[in-house]
Amino acid sequence: MVFAQLYPNAHISVKYMPYAQLIEAFMEDSIRMIITSQSLSPAQSKRIEGKIRYIPKEAQLGYDAVACIAHPSSGKMSLTKSELAKVIRGEISEWSQLSFKSPHQGKIGLVFDNANSSTARYMIDSLIDGGTMSANCFALNNNVEVIDYISKNSNAIGIIGVNWISNNQDDKVQYFRKEIATVGIIDNDSIGSVHPYQAYIASAEYPLRRTMKGIIKEAGPGLGHGFANFIGGEQGQRIILKSGLVPATMPTRQIRIKEKL
């Protein structure tokens, strides 16, 4: 919205897609730019280069994270990164197998936003080295459905993008935060349990941090480069900061001090 106000002659058509569909559309259609958390593979870059004789450029725009959420009755729940990987693989399937003394019993369900999403892809690639998820893992259609499911089911853990619960100035986010609890992730025992808060994403203490990338399919100056430059500039980075995420370059604040009033 801010970009459109500043540049009224520039018209952006935005599409929101699961990661797998997004990449395929980027390679096949006339999409100029995508924003995602994963880089193109060498094979994907080569495929695009073969069509347009140009290797797509990548710009780092900021940082977000994958958040684990649970029913509010779970209390101050925490998982080690290793335990989370074992839950995904199926090596841990019962609440009683966790080091966290959970009030819940029985099997653990792990709920994703979409089987083809970047969130699911990130967990598979970073935690189980591209392996296969267990039968206890299942997907819904989007992040809102995951939040709703977790708010009504105490026997499951949800996996969502942290942007859905990061902006405390958003009324919808405030409602979501009342319905669920975030799960702390332990990667380093000396640090302890870390929740997906903006400060811990910025300091890289939160283990499930990921980079937001803008990938541009334009050989020369164009709308894609212009929009990427706007996001990477001070105004765009400040918008990312205010949304509860972490900008790639922290906006500066200049303060002028007068000796006398």
Predicted confidence pLDDT, tens digits, the chain (261 residues): 999 999 999 999 998 888 888 888 898 877 889 999 988 889 988 888 888 888 888 999 999 999 999 999 988 899 999 999 999 999 999 999 998 888 888 999 999 998 888 899 999 999 999 899 999 999 999 999 999 999 999 999 999 999 999 888 888 888 888 899 999 999 977 678 999 999 999 999 999 999 999 999 887 788 989 999 999 999 999 999 999 999 998 765 666 777 777
Residue 54 to residue 48: CA distance in whole angstroms: 7
Give the pLDDT confidence score for residue 175 in this predicted structure.
86
- Cα torsion for 73, 79, 140, 144, to the nearest 10°? 60
Structure tokens that stand for 41 in this block: 């593979």
CATH class of 2-63+210-247: alpha beta
Residue 246 φ/ψ region, left for φ over 0, alpha for ψ in the -120 to 50 degree band, beta for the rest: beta
Residue 26 to residue 44: CA distance in whole angstroms: 10
CB distance 106 to 95 below 8 Å: yes
- Nearest CA to 247 out of 261, 260, 230, 259 is that of 230
Pick the CATH number of 64-206 from 3.40.50.620, 3.20.20.80, 2.30.40.10, 3.40.190.10: 3.40.190.10
Span(s) in the chain for CATH 3.40.190.10 = 2-63+210-247, 64-206
* 206 to 16, 37, 218, 232: CA distances (angstroms): 26, 16, 34, 23
Give the pLDDT confidence score for residue 48 in this predicted structure.
86
* Strand-strand pairing, 57-70 and 156-161: antiparallel
